[in-house]
Amino acid sequence: MQTDMNAPLLARRGSDTSELLARHLGGPVIGIIGSGDFSRSLAIRLLAGGFRVVVGSRDPNRVPSGLFPEGVELRSQREAVDSADRVVFAALYPEHYDTLVGLREQLAGKVLVDVSNATRLNSGERSNAERLAELFPKSRVVKGFNVVSAWALQAGAHDGSRQVLICGDCSDSKAAVQQLARRLGFSPVDLGGLCASRDIEEAPLLLFPSWGGPLLACFTLFLFFYGYNFVRQILLPYLDKEKNNFYQLPLLTVNETLPAVALVTLAAVYLPGLVAAVFQLGRGTKYKRFPDWLDHWLCCRKQLGLLSFLCAVLHAVYSMCLALRKGAGQAVQNAANGQVTIDQVEAGVENSWAEQQVWRSDLYLSCGILGLGVLSLLAVTSLPSVGNALNWREFTFVQSGLGYAALTLSIMHTLFFGWDFAFSPASYPYHLAPVYLLALILPCIVLVGRLFLALPCLMSRLAKIRRGWESARHRPPAEGSPPGICGDA
């Protein structure tokens, strides 16, 4: 009995052209209708995969010489279809499908792979593949390879997780296209019948579909904290005392906004996990679905974490720029005075050493550096190539254990920054609190909630629920058991 590896990839159909090519190259013949960029890239990849390729053009004489590599036969569309053993790629725009009607008989019984994409989202119209299947009822239309770019075809599937989405109504035809995709180094994914072709055709048009909500949330937080800083530090002083602080807008105000956004966004990564645990404890089961908003929030945690890391990195860069700007300004002042700073001269201070301030600044900087380092580790392990190398326990330790460590270090970084400012009346101009105090509210709630759920009584019950245990109200008692008693699952 032949194994899948020993079985021929594609069924052979006799034709004079196929026999000539078989003697010359020795592999199955794949036909491609169309001579554009995608057709050329596909031909290069098929040729490298050991297939014989025949490209069909409406006018082969108009195709420049050297456009296709040596070994690719460039012929008319009819000759390309006749030469193909079983699989023919339709690599042309959907508006030209009608020009192929004259090839119905030649395409009968062959696998016709549609590689086209939709032109707009949610059009409500039939997919290109369904139109092609209607035009060629005797052919077996399979949707596939449209999510792979021409560059990826030429370069080869260096990424082992490169997926090719495939759908079709004939299982044998889909199997042939799937095996072909594997031979080319890609990972085929069967999405069912041809009715799924609309979703596959719209897939290349989606722009970061899982990033919309996290980006909107992060941008909203940025606008809120930036606007709050603008009103508190720039607008109200200008209206009240005509003090011009507008120079702070491009650098200082942004640098005060970014850490607040990073801290709140990082807290938003771990808050839905706590809310889900509360739901499970309250329900006494894990088999009830979470609300849609919570389900969506749980699925966006990776994106929120990466956005938090981005804001933290930008905050570090802005802080270094501010330090350089202040240092340069101080050097200019010292050069002008020829000695210590102007402030020290006016105050009559010879030694500006303040141990308390040094401790505060050193602890503040140390926690910030450590927090950014742990966040960097979280960002790296979120990459598929790195995360796939970790087992589940390692991944959970990094993303959960070290994640809470990063959150704790970030909170300490903020607290050390304002440990004395928070108690000074001067920190509340116009009765408005500093922005870092507002940014601490949600992270502190998350940290306290995590500590609360770590209590042995709650932690043990939650562990039992997640292992399948249910409270008595969710299933009938075992036969012979008194009412209200339910054993562990």
Tokens (6 digits) for 297 = 């929030």
Tokens (6 digits) for 72 = 């690719």
Evaluate whether 345 touches 339 at the Cβ level (below 8 Å). yes
Instruction: Assign 56 to helix, strand or coil.
Output: strand
b vs e for 22-38, b when ≥16 Cβ sit within 10 Å of the residue's Cβ?
Answer: beebebbbbbbbbbeeb
pLDDT tens, N- to C-terminus, the chain (489 residues): 344 444 444 444 444 444 444 444 456 899 999 998 999 999 999 998 889 999 999 999 888 888 898 889 999 999 999 999 999 999 999 999 999 999 999 999 999 999 999 988 887 889 999 999 999 999 999 999 998 887 777 765 454 457 899 999 999 999 999 999 999 888 899 999 999 999 999 998 888 888 999 999 999 999 999 999 999 999 999 999 999 999 999 999 999 999 999 999 999 999 999 999 999 999 999 999 999 999 999 999 999 999 999 999 999 999 998 887 776 555 545 544 544 444 544 555 555 556 777 788 889 899 999 999 999 999 999 887 788 888 888 988 998 999 999 999 999 999 998 877 788 888 899 999 999 999 999 999 999 999 999 999 999 999 999 998 988 776 655 555 554 444 443
Rounded (5°) CA angle 379-380-383: 95
In the chain, the amino acid numbered 279 is F
How many whole angstroms separate alpha carbon 279 and alpha carbon 462? 10
How many whole angstroms separate alpha carbon 289 and alpha carbon 401? 26
Evaluate whether 84 touches 31 at the Cβ level (below 8 Å). yes
In the chain, the amino acid numbered 179 is Q
pLDDT at 199 (0 to 100): 93
How many whole angstroms separate alpha carbon 397 and alpha carbon 403? 8
- Helix axis angle for 301-337 and 252-283, nearest 10°, is 150
pLDDT at 24 (0 to 100): 46
CA atoms within 13 A on the CB side of 452: 11
How many whole angstroms separate alpha carbon 130 and alpha carbon 116? 12
b vs e for 100-117, b when ≥16 Cβ sit within 10 Å of the residue's Cβ?
Answer: beebeebbeebbbbbbbb
Tokens (6 digits) for 459 = 């932690």
pTM: 0.76
Evaluate whether 281 touches 238 at the Cβ level (below 8 Å). no
- 357, exposed or middle or buried, with CB in 10 Å at 0-12, 13-18, 19+? exposed
Instruction: Assign 469 to helix, strand or coil.
Output: coil
Which residues, 6 or more positions from 385, have their beta carbon under 8 angstroms from its beta carbon? none
